[in-house]
Amino acid sequence: MSKLNKFFNDFLSIKNNNLDEITVSNLEQKMKHEKFPKKLIEELLFEFNKMINEQGEIEFQKQLASLHYQVPNLFRSELKAEKIYKDYRNWIEDEVVKLENETKLSWEEQTEDIEDLNITARKAQLVLRQRITEVVLDLLN
């Protein structure tokens, strides 16, 4: 475990028993509650199930618990992010405006760490990393 992940785990007091709350079913319910687009939820759940099949549930839970406002590996590809933007443009743009209002920072400032990506990929990754992390943190608390 990296020192940064260990710090966040210690800081957030994430215990293994809290990881039990990170299930595909709980993630689905929380994303529905947060009004993610239905088809996007299906895509995310498909990818999450794939992660579970490849790595096992405990590793999947640990990975999601340690996201800390990073995009899950499955969505780091610029092409994947562009596709998500294209498919869910209206939702992404609405969420970008909400994030700018919540943080009082422009989306450009919020995505300085990924400024090498094109605009649509940056916006999609911003929304995904923020909203997925919020869902996971809600489940952990």
What residue numbers bound the domain in which 101 lies? 3-140
- Count of structural domains, the chain: 1
State the pLDDT at residue 137: 93
Q: Which residues of the chain have pLDDT under 70?
A: 1-17
| Model pLDDT, residue 67 | 85
CB count within 10 Å of CB 25 equals 8
What's the CA gap between 39 and 26, in Å, rounded?
A: 17
pLDDT the model gives residue 81: 95
In 88-118, alpha helices (H): 89-103, 107-110
DSSP 116: T
Residue 23, C-beta contacts closer than 8 angstroms, at least 6 positions apart? none
**Which position has the token pair 């919540």?**
102
pLDDT value at residue 73: 81
